Structure 1
Amino acid sequence: DASTISGRRLGTAYEQELEEKLNSALSSKAELRDLNGRLVAKFLLLQSALQKLEKEKSFDYTYDYINQLNDVNTKLRSRITSERTLAQEALFSNKITILSLKSKISQLEFKLVHFIPHPSFFDSDTEITDEQEDSNTITEITDEQEDSKLPDW
């Protein structure tokens, strides 16, 4: 009985020691669980902040890309506007040239109709006749020059 009593005493002391160790382990486990919870919460917070930064970075990239597209669009509109202006100026210049040429043609047609001495001026028979008359005139002039030679002295 003494051994049982002493065993119980030992067992009780041993049980108390085990109970203290178990309580210490449970306390450490609770602290670890609490620390793990805080670490997970901090990790989730950091992950959320990182996602926000990535979204902002993506937004900034998208914003920059949109600004670049707007700049290109503005430059293209400006270029198209200046090319349209040049084309309109060229078209206007061409219209002026065409109108000027039409006016000149009208003037020349008027002169052609009103200042031709003979209506058959462009007939081919008349041209041949005129050429024949010119050659006959030259022949007559040459003959007259031969007749009017001074005598040799």
Structure 2
Amino acid sequence: MKRFILSVLAGAAIFAVISCEKDFGRGLYFKSIYQDYFYGDGREHLEYPGRLINTQAELDKVSRDIDAINSISDRLRSEPLDFEHYTYVLLVDSIRRIPMAINMVYADVVDRNLKIYYRTVEKPDTPHVAVTQAFQFIKLDRGAFDEVNFIRTK
């Protein structure tokens, strides 16, 4: 029961982080509903449980722990994933799991261009505000990609 309550609180915290318009610095933050992991610049927001991931070894462990990461990684058609690519995949994964209007999000990397494909259920004519705001993190994070495009799928 305690784990269930913590899961619900974690889900609410994710929505709050993604939907707010605060300055998150140059770190890339993510929070998965099913895992308590962070990646960022050392600051934690909203004081909910999490871990800071700041080494390749820790990131490798996270990628093994989160089985859903594999389905997203398989869609990446690029050079072998490096540290920064893994953090973006994890961000996409955590957003894909959020129980909102988004029912599909995945990433495609070609050269240094990141393309985000998404579909919404409530307002298919306009991008969901949470998608737009959440992926602003990508543009702030160390310039790993030259270009970020949002593509709504039918």
Shorter-chain TM-score bucket reads under 0.3
TM-score calculated relative to the size of structure 1: 0.13
TM-score calculated relative to the size of structure 2: 0.13
Determine which structure has greater relative contact order: mean sequence separation of CA pairs < 8 Å that are 6+ residues apart, divided by chain length: 2
| Structure with larger Rg | 1
Q: Greater share of helix residues, 1 or 2?
A: 1
